[in-house]
Amino acid sequence: MNKATTSAADLIRAGQTALGIELGSTRIKAVLIGPDFTPLASGAHEWENRYEHGVWTYHLEDVWAGLQACYRSLKDEVQQRYGVPLRTVGALGISGMMHGYLAFDHAGQLLAPFRTWRNTMTAQAAEQLSQLFQFNIPQRWSVAHLWQSILNGEAHVREIAFLTTLAGYVHWQLSGQKVLGIGDASGMFPVDSQTNDYDAQRLAQFNQLLEQAHLPWRLEEILPRVLVAGQAAGTLTEAGARLLDPSGELQPGIPLCPPEGDAGTGMVATNAVAPRTGNVSAGTSVFAMLVLDRPLSSFYPEVDIVTTPAGRPVAMVHSNNCTSDLNAWVALFQEALHRLGTHVGEGVLFEQLYRAALEGDADAGGLLAYNYVSGEHITHFEEGRPLFVRTPNSRFTLANFMRAHLFAALGALKIGMDLLVERESIRVDRLMGHGGFFKTREVGQRIMAAALNVPVAVMETAGEGGAWGIALLAAYLLHETNQPLEAFLAERVFANAQIHEVCPVAADVEGFAKFMTRYRRGLSIERAAVEALRD
C-alpha cells in the first residue's frame, strides 16, 4: 500500500470525510470525499421508475434496497482500495429527485403511491395555483400534486400528516428530522429568499383554499421545516444506520446536512451558486439553472423560480425528457450487434454513436424526432410518444439520425430558455454542464452550445455529479458557517478546478435553429401520435 493510500485509509478510519448519496432517476450514487474535497471512493446502484395505473412511481422498498446496494458497493470499494472498513464519516448528506408527492399519515404510513416529478396529471391544479399566486407552479411541484388530489376528491388527503420529497423522506428515516434544504423546498412550494422560508402570503392564500375544502390541517403543519446550507439537520440514528447498512458496521451519530434536490446539488457540483452563474444538467431530464441578480418582470409557465441551497433565487427551465429515448435507440443498436455476434461495450457504443453526430449535416439532414417518453409541460403535452419522422428527401444517415436525436433531447429546453433570453434579457458568460449527456467528451457540450448559443464548460469532476454536490454540502456543514456557500466553493473547492470549455460553432447554431423551426412545426405530428396511440 503506497503512502497516498495509507493517508486516505487514515482519513477514512478517523472519519475525516464527507459522504453524499443522491437518488437520481436511473441511478443511486454515493461519493465519499476527503478534506480536500476530492472523491476517495464511490458506489452506485441502477434502478428505474415504474409506470403503474397511469402513475410514474418508485416503490419505497425499492428505495431502501437501492440505497443499501449503493452503500454496500461504496463499502466494498473502500475496503478494496484502502484496506479499511467504512464505519463512520464526518458528515452525511442525502439528495434526490426534486418535486413529486410523498404523503404520510400520523403513523408514518404512505397514503398514496409516490408520484414522481415525471407525472403530468396536475394541469388543472397547476394552472389554478399559478393564477392565484401570480407565480408559476409547475405540474411536478408537490403543492400542485396536493391541490390536484384535493380537486379529485381523493380520500387520503384528510389523513395527511407529512408531505415531503424523496430526499426529505430518506433524511427523515435516517435522522428522525422532518426538514428540507431550501433548494428542494422551493420545488414543493414558493419560498421567500428574504426570510429563507415558505412564502407567508402564498401560504395564507393556500390555507384559505384548505378552509373552503374543510380540511383539518394547514399547509405549514404538513410541510418539512426549511433549512439552508450549513445548518445542522440532525444526526444519523441507530435505526437510520441499520437502514443504510444492515451489516451493522456503520455507526450512528453522524451529523447530516439539510437534504437537497438534484437541482441544488447540480449547482454546487458545478460552482454555479453565485448571481449571473448558470449550469445545465442533462440526463433522464434536462434543466438549466440561472442564478438571478434581479427578479423577472413576469411569471412564465415554462420557467420555475427556485433557489440555490443558500436561498438565492434561480430561474429554472426544466424539460421532463432528455436521454431516455436516445438510450433506447442505443440499446436497439446494441441488440443488433449482439445478433451479428459482435460484442461492443456500452460505453464504446455510446461514444461512437455520439461522435457520429458531429459528422452529420448541420441541421440533421431534415430529420425530425421527439423524445417524449412522458408528457412535456413546456410544449403542453400531458402524455408523450417517442417519434421519429423523415421526408423522402431527408438525408437519412446514421450521423444525421444521431444528430437529430441529440437535438431533440434539447428541443423543449430551447423553447423555455428563449423566453429568458429574448423577453428577460438574461445573460450568462457560460453554462457549466453535468450529467450523462456530457459523458462523451465535447459532443454533448458542442450540441448544447449550438442549442443555447453560449459556451458550455465541464469540469473534470463533472462525472461525479450531484452525489459529489451533496457531499460538498455535507463538508460545508463541518466548516465555519459564517463563510457564504459561494465563497466556500470558489475559494476552497474550485480554486484550482480543471475546466474544459466549448464555444458555439456558427454553423451548428444555424443548423440547430433550422431544426427548431422543423421541431415547432412538427408538434402537431406529436399531438396526433398521442391522440392516435392511446394505451
Assess if residue 442 is contained within a domain.
no
How many domains does the chain fold into?
Answer: 1
Mean pLDDT, range 478-498, rounded to an integer: 88
User: Please, how many CA atoms are within 13 Å of residue 348, restricted to the half-sphere of its CB?
Assistant: 6
Q: Do 48 and 23 form a contact (C-beta atoms < 8 A)?
A: no
Assess if residue 87 is contained within a domain.
no
**CA dihedral sign of residues 419, 421, 426, 430:** positive
pLDDT at 433 over 60: yes
Identity of residue 385: R
Q: Which percentage of the chain shows pLDDT scores above 90?
A: 84
Assess if residue 421 is contained within a domain.
no
Q: How far apart are CA 434 and CA 456, in angstroms?
A: 10
Assess if residue 372 is contained within a domain.
yes
Show Cβ contacts of residue 523 under 8 Å, excluding neighbours closer than 6 positions.
379
Long-range contacts of 526-535 (CB under 8 A, 24+ apart): 526/370, 526/372, 526/379, 526/381, 526/384, 526/385, 526/387, 527/381, 529/385, 529/387, 530/381, 530/383, 530/384, 530/385, 533/385
Q: Do 358 and 398 form a contact (C-beta atoms < 8 A)?
A: no
Q: Do 530 and 384 form a contact (C-beta atoms < 8 A)?
A: yes
Helix (H, G, I), strand (E, B) or coil at 142: helix
pLDDT at 202 over 50: yes
**CA distances, 462 to each of 30, 436, 438 (Å):** 14, 9, 9
Tens of pLDDT along 314-353? Answer: 998 989 999 999 999 999 999 999 999 999 999 999 999 9
C-alpha cell at 1: 500500500
**CA distances, 528 to each of 87, 119, 216, 266, 534 (Å):** 56, 20, 44, 36, 11
Helix (H, G, I), strand (E, B) or coil at 304: strand
Q: How confident is the model at residue 430 (pLDDT cuts 50, 70, 90)?
A: confident
**CA distances, 56 to each of 16, 100, 297, 446 (Å):** 39, 10, 34, 32
**CA distances, 365 to each of 333, 389, 395, 449 (Å):** 21, 12, 5, 19
Give the pLDDT score at 463: 54
Tens of pLDDT along 353-394? Answer: 999 999 999 999 999 999 999 999 899 998 999 999 999 999
Helix axes 60-82, 166-175, angle to 10 degrees: 70
According to DSSP, the β-strands at 387-389 and 368-370 are antiparallel
Assess if residue 444 is contained within a domain.
no
Per DSSP, the residues of 329-346 read HHHHHHHHHHHTT----H
pLDDT at 535 over 90: no
Helix (H, G, I), strand (E, B) or coil at 262: helix
When the pLDDT of each residue in the chain is averaged and rounded to a whole number, the result is: 94
* Residue-range definition of the domain harbouring residue 520: 324-408+507-532
Mean pLDDT, range 62-71, rounded to an integer: 98
**CA distances, 57 to each of 65, 435, 462 (Å):** 15, 22, 28
pLDDT at 428 over 50: yes
Q: How far apart are CA 270 and CA 36, in angstroms?
A: 16
Cβ count within 10 A of residue 35: 12
**CA dihedral sign of residues 121, 320, 29, 329:** positive
Give the pLDDT score at 460: 73
Helix (H, G, I), strand (E, B) or coil at 100: coil
Q: How far apart are CA 490 and CA 472, in angstroms?
A: 12
pLDDT at 85 over 70: yes
pLDDT at 6 over 70: no
pLDDT at 496 over 90: no
Q: How confident is the model at residue 301 (pLDDT cuts 50, 70, 90)?
A: confident
Give the pLDDT score at 464: 62
Mean pLDDT, range 457-462, rounded to an integer: 76
pLDDT at 399 over 90: yes
Which secondary-structure segment (H or E) carries 30? strand 27-33
pLDDT at 1 over 50: no
Assess if residue 384 is contained within a domain.
yes
pLDDT at 462 over 70: no
Long-range contacts of 149-152 (CB under 8 A, 24+ apart): 149/101, 149/103, 149/112, 150/209, 150/210, 150/213, 150/215, 151/124, 151/125
Assess if residue 386 is contained within a domain.
yes
Strands (DSSP E) found in 167-239:
179-181, 191-192, 197-198, 225-227
pLDDT at 480 over 70: no
Q: How far apart are CA 377 and CA 285, in angstroms?
A: 12
Assess if residue 34 is contained within a domain.
no
Tens of pLDDT along 239-287? Answer: 999 999 999 999 999 999 999 999 899 899 989 999 888 999 888 889 8
pLDDT at 14 over 60: yes
Q: How far apart are CA 16 and CA 89, in angstroms?
A: 6
Tens of pLDDT along 104-163? Answer: 999 999 999 999 988 889 999 999 999 999 999 999 999 999 999 999 999 999 999 999
Mean pLDDT, range 450-472, rounded to an integer: 86
Q: Where are the alpha helices (DSSP H) in 238-323?
A: 238-244, 262-269
